[in-house]
Amino acid sequence: MTEPISFTRKGAWRGAVRCIPLIISIIPFGLVAGVTSQGAGLSLLEAMIMSAGVYAGASQLVALSIWSHPPPLLATALAAFVVNLRLALMGPVLAPWLDRLRGWRLWGSLFFMADQNWALSVTEMTTGGRDAGFLLGSGLSMWLVWVLSTGAGHLLGASMRPPPGHPLFFAVLAVFVSMLAGMWRGGKDVLPWLVAAASSSIASFLMPGTFWYIIIGAFAGTLTGGLRDRTVA
């Protein structure tokens, strides 16, 4: 018989404590997002509302990198959607916990799930953890620090006022390069990565001044990876 899954304050607190090292690591990321939001023309309140409501650092940086006045809403939404598609694959891994939650416990856990606390929760679950509050507690603590560090970054950007070409904004690209390094699974990833790079470069050349190259590259790479996996299977 499968052991019951619990959802307690003790489990949530344990998740928050276990997440402290990860929280420290996301502070620089939040500062960069805050500085970038200030450079894009968002107010402090707008930047913090974005971080609180979206709570997705990678997609926020994508959106901010293509932000203009007025912003390209469709392109921004699609770009953020593509970046966050990975979450649809991450959630089912925690199905032994999530399938037994209902209401605010389920939706709150999903909202506050990010790459870092997801990985921590997977480790907790696979080593016998039965308290699903761990996921919510770890995510909630990360969310709070993310919002505050974004606000601090916005204030820092307002005091520095770096110009659009400042090297600080290279951090946006550096974040995605570092993400790729962590996702590398071997030689089989070369083809979809090359297809994504080539298609986005061609789209950027054919449609200068637009941001569709992000979406085209992402979809081309994803499609190639899907076809590759289907062929191998």
pLDDT in tens, 122-175: 989 988 889 999 999 999 999 999 999 999 999 988 887 766 666 666 665 666
pLDDT in tens, 50-97: 999 989 887 888 788 777 777 777 777 877 787 787 788 788 889 999
Instruction: Write down the pTM of the prediction.
Output: 0.76
The answer to whether the CB of 67 falls within 8 A of the CB of 88 is no
Classify the phi-psi angles of 55: left when phi > 0, otherwise alpha if psi is within -120 to 50, otherwise beta.
Answer: left
Selected residue with higher pLDDT from 29 and 183: 29
Give 148's contacts (C-beta < 8 A, 6+ positions apart).
Answer: 30
Q: Count the alpha carbons within 13 Å of 109 in the hemisphere toward its beta carbon.
A: 27
pLDDT in tens, 193-212: 899 889 988 988 888 766 67
The whole-angstrom separation of Cα 27 and Cα 147 is 10
Which residue has tokens 């090359």? 194
